[in-house]
């Protein structure tokens, strides 16, 4: 399964972070069964983009 998360503004990164962590956890527990893996893609729209601020959010929230 493929899940595409489209995120634009800063508040939504905080909302999407726990979802991405849950998908990672799910994939870790289902490592042996490739058919059960979730391919998670994050699309950053660049709304209000600032490299330094985005970098901090991505690092602190552990978003790939």
Task: Give the pLDDT of residue 42.
Answer: 93
Confidence check: pLDDT of 48 > 80? no
Domain extent listing, the chain = 2-60
Mean pLDDT, residues 4-22: 91
Tokens of 34: 């490739």
- Could you report the per-residue pLDDT of 14-43, keeping only the tens digit for each? 999 999 999 999 999 988 887 889 999 999
What is the chain's percent helix, strand, coil content, to nearest 5?
50, 20, 30
- In this prediction, residue 47 carries a pLDDT of 82
Query: pTM higher than 0.85, yes or no?
Result: no
Where helices occur in 1-64 by DSSP H, the ranges are: 10-29, 51-60
**Residue 64 pLDDT exceeds 90:** no
Q: Are 46 and 8 in contact (CB under 8 A)?
A: yes
The total of other beta-carbon atoms located within 10 Å of residue 13's CB is 20
CA-to-CA distance for 43 and 29, rounded, in angstroms? 25
């Amino acid at each position: 399964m493929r899940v595409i998360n489209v995120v634009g503004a800063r508040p939504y990164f905080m909302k999407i972070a726990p979802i991405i962590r849950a998908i990672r956890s799910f994939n870790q527990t289902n490592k042996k069964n490739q058919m059960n893996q979730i391919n998670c893609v994050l699309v950053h729209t660049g709304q209000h983009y600032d490299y330094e601020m985005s970098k901090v959010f991505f690092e602190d929230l552990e978003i790939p």
